[in-house]
């Protein structure tokens, strides 16, 4: 039985990000990250590979702090960021010679390189002292080589933006745009002053740049952001004004600039796409008919908040952007007339992408994997990487999707994870998790914390209450100035329904936890109900009065929470969890980073002190030096310790054992709280919105029938995930045998382009204000000072403009999607009679395109937290050696040891050569790192003849591999059993393979990933699995991905 995940598995994960295609779409560069156990640090490197050939190449040798790759317009060079001293600097790698050159040398560091369209210059962001009176520096030299400067003598704040979470105290330093020759030389600073540049991009002719920021006086008191153009002499010209402008990108035609921004100065509004003439004028909203926010609102604990990747098509007719729907983030495109089209979707979180040369490359996470690299070419999708194959040997709980109906009719989405060996006749302890934001969302993404808890024996329940992203603007705004109101009702009502619906929850052993806004809600819940036996409040808020002007996003809080607490603090005090501290009887664990500038540690200290003075059970865990983002980008040993503390707290007060259900006794469901428990704060008048252009859209679809009440399916074994058998080098360690990878699928089958219109509830949701583009800089770009959007207390995002590569081209449009089955319309409420009037503060846009969200996969059996995996035959991997014996992890508790870290000696710095002829193709071999040597590409097979006669041969009678004589053939590789390591050939690509119980067979397809399909024994049955082949695998003439086979198939 597979072992569950544990906290220390953080050291085994490999994370992929910052995907960039070469201008011709032939190569892809990305950054690979991991947590190093020995140094207890987060490390990264840049990887380059040919899109159609599994040849990963470490672009830069010997460095473990390289990230942010960007291609030159001709594809011959790669700019990247590397930390080889105290601060990050800009480097350029020549891909032909392998030589690199440092282009920046700013004492405070540099980030975000962007090439000019002619490839002669690079722009980048650099941190410089702009307010000398903002700090009294210590004049002595740094104490160590990795220290930029000593702790200052004094810090002086005169504006609200003197600090930013994840960056720290600004100390009079600001972020500005620099330009430097691509051949090296002195960098020129183009912008200056006591303000910050958020994003930037080059003009098509390379003579100017567009930057976003606010250079006005009293900028810290206003949420407006401006777009400026700046020339090489530093002359600024204002082009447009908006709210929280991010990711400006200049059209390759040079006439317009596109960007993402809010539609007003209110909380909860959607981020939308805008265009403005490059010479200035009135901005036009081109996604007014899409009721989804531009950006990635789905959260997990695998990575920090991401920016908003956007790019133009090569002809400048369309803009590609991400948008979050119900539980998922997809890639869309829109033309200048406002016609939106879904490009890539599905039940997953697409968190980064690029478009070039007719190819879409993207990084995506699903519920089984932290993230892999995918490409879409000619209407078909393929996965290129397999970074975490070891996860296939672990128990990964698969979420069961539920829909819930609030007392006022709103329909909401949620998920339930089940523990290993789930028995529906037993009762289980349950942990309910609440996401932060509040304008974020849970979804179809991998969550380590949830998997650890499920593996221990807990049911893990999470859902998206009103206020969450992904369900339209009305739903999103329904929590503003109503924290602890209807959002709390939604959570408790959904919990009641899952208890009643499943009948497997031990209601005497339930816990609740959450971070940021989720921490606020955890604190609020235990002050209003005693149904929970344990609670974990992470980086939380307990007192809205003291928090109001204390955090780093004061203007956002003013719009989201309500008017200031002076002269009358009563409204905010009513919504402060600490007011109800005398009602809190639930044992509470509080965790927080000591450098959290978003939800200050004083908020946790206040509640902890009050609870202890009242004699209640409480514990406060502080993480030195850590920011609000400790769970996603903190020091690895602190991330591990945080998970251990959370798991131990719930185990201590809930237990992990199952309980017998007494005969004839049904699950007990406490009464739902009344909808009017807390009055909502009075909304303020809505300001005039920014002018929008009226755009036509496709007709709205007919409404789908409401789904039948959800019945939980019996759990089935979830078979292994996709694989990339040959690319062992990416994880830098030999790994167990990968499971099958699905074949290429038409994109049209993964997307649908209709967005259901969000119906208003019977009583309109209380208006709210302020939005929170969640912003946090990559922890390795330590000098980036994000300033553009005011993010929410949950996930912070570094907003950096992504360059519109001159050679980008628009991929072919997908074919028409198949109609989706009827299912709940998330965020929708029944339409009362007569129809309700929309709230005055919201003018609802027309329905527009959005993905169709498929049903949940079934759960899989597994083991309990303390149970060791059952003994089984050690699997083999295609050209992979056995995993080495683990070494102990540093720390007070000996964890599961991490695999060997990536070798700094393995490298191919020269550009990979062209494919060799098929006849000269070498047999697979191993290099020093255990990765398969690079092989060339052979033509794909021709489809088999329809009237081909089947012929069956004994395995030992098959002829030697005929590909050595240049004949097209399938290759059979025996991995175990009496024919192990033997390679034979089949002259026809359609064949019946004789089976033996001790043989796992790989059918090779050199035209794609190197493999075609696998035949293996699982639990006494035979299975055939496609491995991402070009023409697919057929069983009895039908295409399959993973299928059990019988005699004669």
Label each residue of 46-57 as H, E or C: EEEEECCCCCCE
Between CA 7 and CA 41 the distance in angstroms is 16
Between CA 190 and CA 232 the distance in angstroms is 7
User: Alpha-carbon dihedral of residues 1024, 1026, 1031, 1033, nearest 10 degrees?
Assistant: 10
Q: Which two tokens stand for residue 451?
A: 């998997």
Q: Which single residue is written with the structure tokens 């609870």?
A: 611
Between CA 478 and CA 483 the distance in angstroms is 10
Q: Which two tokens stand for residue 501?
A: 């619906």
The length of the chain, given as a count of residues: 1049
Catalytic residue status for 604: no
- Name the pairing type of β-strands 1001-1004 and 1013-1018: antiparallel
Q: Which single residue is written with the structure tokens 């008919």?
A: 289
Backbone angles phi, psi at 754, to 5 degrees: -110, 135
93 forms bridges with which residues in the sheet? 78, 100
Between CA 718 and CA 736 the distance in angstroms is 18
Helices 517-526 and 486-502 pack at an angle, to 10 degrees, of 70
User: Of these residues, 100, 516, 576, 1029, which one is catalytic?
Assistant: 516
Between CA 143 and CA 416 the distance in angstroms is 50
DSSP 736: P
Between CA 503 and CA 518 the distance in angstroms is 26
Catalytic residue status for 633: no
Contact 155, 171 (CB under 8 A): yes
Say how far residue 952 (Cα) sits from the centre of its chain: 47
Give the DSSP per-residue string, 925-965: -B-TTSPBPP----PPPPPPPTTPPP----GGGSPB-GGGG
Q: Which two tokens stand for residue 430?
A: 């349950």
Evaluate the CA torsion angle 325, 329, 335, 341 in order and state its sign.
negative
Query: What SS3 class is residue 436?
Result: coil
By CB atoms closer than 10 A (0-12, 13-18, 19+), residue 983 is: middle
Q: What angle do CA 75, 80, 83 make, to 5 degrees?
A: 160
Cβ partners under 8 Å of residue 911, min gap 6:
95, 96
User: Of these residues, 402, 435, 628, 799, which one is catalytic?
Assistant: 628
Label each residue of 328-350 as H, E or C: EEEEEEEECCCCEEEEECCCCEE
Q: Which single residue is written with the structure tokens 């606020």?
A: 520
163 forms bridges with which residues in the sheet? 169
Q: Which two tokens stand for residue 278?
A: 């490059």
Between CA 100 and CA 113 the distance in angstroms is 15
Using omega within 30 degrees of 0 as the cis cutoff, is the peptide bond preceding 512 cis?
A: no
DSSP 992: P
Give the DSSP per-residue string, 788-819: SS---SS--B---PPP--TT--PPPPPPPPPP
Contact 273, 294 (CB under 8 A): yes
Between CA 1042 and CA 721 the distance in angstroms is 10
Contact 481, 769 (CB under 8 A): yes
Give the DSSP per-residue string, 546-599: HHTTTSS-HHHHHHHH-S-SSS--HHHHHT-GGGGGGG--S-EEEEEETT-SSS
Helices 448-456 and 636-654 pack at an angle, to 10 degrees, of 40
List, by residue number, the catalytic residues.
516, 628
């Amino acid at each position: 039985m597979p072992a569950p995940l544990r906290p220390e598995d953080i050291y085994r994960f490999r994370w992929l990000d910052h995907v960039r295609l070469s201008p011709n779409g032939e190569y892809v560069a990305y950054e690979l990250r991991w947590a190093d156990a020995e140094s207890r640090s987060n490390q990264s490197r840049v990887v380059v590979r040919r899109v159609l050939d599994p040849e990963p190449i470490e672009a830069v040798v010997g460095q473990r702090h390289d990230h942010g790759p960007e291609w030159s317009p001709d594809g011959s060079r790669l700019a990247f960021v590397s930390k080889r001293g105290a601060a990050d600097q800009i480097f350029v790698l020549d891909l032909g010679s392998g030589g690199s050159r440092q282009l920046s040398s700013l004492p405070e560091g540099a980030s975000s390189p962007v090439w000019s369209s002619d490839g002669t210059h690079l722009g980048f962001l650099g941190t410089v002292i702009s307010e000398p009176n903002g700090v009294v520096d210590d004049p002595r030299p740094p104490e160590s080589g990795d220290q930029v400067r000593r702790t200052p003598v004094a810090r002086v704040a005169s504006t609200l933006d003197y600090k930013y979470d994840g960056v720290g105290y600004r100390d009079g330093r600001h972020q500005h745009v620099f330009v430097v020759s691509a051949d090296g030389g002195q960098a020129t600073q183009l912008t200056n002053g006591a303000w910050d540049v958020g994003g930037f991009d080059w003009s098509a002719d390379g003579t100017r740049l567009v930057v976003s920021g606010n250079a006005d006086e009293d900028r810290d008191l206003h949420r407006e952001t401006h777009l400026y153009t700046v020339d090489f002499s530093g002359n600024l010209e204002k082009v447009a004004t908006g709210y929280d402008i991010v990711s400006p990108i200049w059209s390759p035609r040079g006439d317009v600039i596109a960007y993402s921004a809010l539609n007003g100065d209110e909380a909860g509004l959607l981020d939308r796409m805008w265009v403005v003439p490059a010479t200035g004028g009135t901005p036009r909203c081109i996604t007014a008919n899409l009721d989804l926010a531009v950006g990635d609102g789905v959260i997990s604990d695998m990575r920090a908040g991401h920016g908003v990747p956007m790019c133009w098509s090569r002809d400048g007719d369309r803009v590609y952007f991400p948008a979050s729907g119900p539980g998922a983030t997809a890639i869309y495109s829109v033309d200048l007339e406002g016609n939106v089209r879904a490009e890539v979707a599905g039940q997953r979180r697409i968190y980064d992408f690029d478009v070039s040369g007719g190819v879409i490359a993207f990084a995506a996470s699903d519920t089984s994997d932290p993230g892999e690299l995918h490409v879409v070419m000619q209407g078909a999708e393929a996965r290129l990487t397999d970074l975490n194959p070891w996860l296939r040997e672990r128990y990964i709980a698969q979420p069961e999707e539920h829909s819930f109906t609030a007392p006022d009719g709103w329909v909401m989405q949620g998920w339930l994870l089940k523990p290993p060996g789930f028995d529906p006749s037993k009762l289980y302890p349950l942990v309910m998790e609440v996401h932060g934001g509040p304008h974020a969302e849970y979804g179809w993404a991998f969550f380590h914390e949830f998997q650890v808890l499920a593996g221990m024996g807990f049911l893990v329940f999470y859902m998206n209450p009103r206020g969450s992203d992904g369900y339209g603007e009305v739903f999103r705004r329904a929590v503003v100035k109503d924290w602890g109101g209807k959002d709390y009702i939604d959570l408790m009502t959904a919990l009641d329904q899952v208890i009643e619906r499943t009948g497997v929850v031990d209601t005497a052993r339930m816990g609740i936890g959450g971070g940021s806004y989720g921490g606020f809600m955890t604190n609020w819940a235990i002050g209003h109900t005693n149904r929970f036996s344990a609670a974990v409040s992470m980086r939380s808020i307990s007192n809205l009065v003291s928090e109001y002007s204390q955090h780093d996003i004061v203007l956002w809080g003013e719009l989201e929470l309500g008017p200031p607490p002076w002269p009358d603090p009563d409204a905010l005090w009513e919504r402060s969890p600490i007011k109800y501290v005398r009602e809190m009887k639930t044992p509470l664990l509080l965790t927080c980073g000591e450098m959290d500038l978003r939800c200050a540690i004083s908020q946790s200290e206040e509640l902890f002190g009050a609870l202890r003075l009242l004699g209640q059970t409480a514990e406060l865990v502080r993480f030195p030096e850590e920011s609000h983002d400790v769970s996603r980008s903190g020091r690895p040993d602190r991330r591990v310790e945080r998970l251990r503390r959370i798991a131990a707290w719930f185990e201590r007060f809930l237990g992990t054992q199952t309980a017998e259900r007494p005969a004839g006794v049904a699950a007990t469901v406490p009464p739902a709280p009344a909808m009017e428990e807390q009055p909502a704060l009075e909304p303020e008048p809505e300001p005039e919105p920014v002018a929008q252009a009226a755009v036509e859209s496709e007709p709205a679809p007919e409404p789908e029938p409401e789904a039948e009440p959800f019945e939980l399916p019996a759990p089935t074994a979830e078979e292994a995930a996709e694989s990339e058998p040959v690319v062992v080098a990416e994880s830098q360690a030999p790994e167990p045998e990968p499971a099958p990878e699905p074949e290429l699928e038409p994109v049209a089958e993964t997307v649908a382009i209709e967005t259901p219109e969000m119906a208003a509830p019977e009583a309109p949701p209380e208006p709210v204000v302020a939005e929170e583009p969640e912003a946090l800089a990559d922890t390795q770009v330590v000098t980036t000072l994000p300033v553009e959007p005011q993010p929410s207390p949950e996930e912070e995002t570094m907003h950096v403009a992504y360059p519109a590569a001159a050679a980008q081209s628009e991929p072919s449009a997908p074919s028409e999607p198949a109609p989706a089955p009827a299912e709940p319309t998330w965020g929708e409420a029944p339409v009362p009679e007569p129809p309700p009037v929309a709230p005055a503060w919201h003018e609802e846009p027309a329905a527009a395109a959005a993905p169709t969200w498929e049903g949940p996969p079934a759960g899989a059996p597994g083991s309990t937290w303390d149970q060791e995996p059952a003994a089984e035959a050690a699997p083999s991997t295609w050209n992979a050696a056995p995993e080495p014996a683990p070494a102990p992890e540093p720390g007070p508790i000996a964890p599961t040891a991490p695999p060997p870290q990536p070798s700094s000696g393995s490298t191919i710095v020269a550009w990979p050569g062209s494919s060799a002829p098929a006849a000269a193709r070498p047999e697979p071999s191993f290099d020093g790192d255990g990765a398969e040597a690079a092989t060339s590409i052979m033509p794909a097979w021709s489809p088999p003849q329809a009237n081909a006669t089947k012929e069956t041969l004994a395995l030992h009678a098959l002829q030697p591999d005929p590909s050595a004589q240049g004949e097209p053939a399938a290759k059979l590789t025996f991995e175990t059993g009496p024919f192990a390591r033997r390679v034979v050939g089949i002259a026809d690509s359609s064949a019946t393979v004789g089976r033996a119980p001790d043989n796992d067979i790989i059918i090779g397809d050199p035209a794609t990933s190197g493999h075609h399909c696998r035949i293996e024994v699982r639990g006494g049955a035979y299975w055939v699995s496609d491995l991402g082949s070009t023409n697919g695998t057929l069983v009895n003439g039908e295409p399959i991905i993973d299928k059990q086979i019988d005699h004669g198939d």
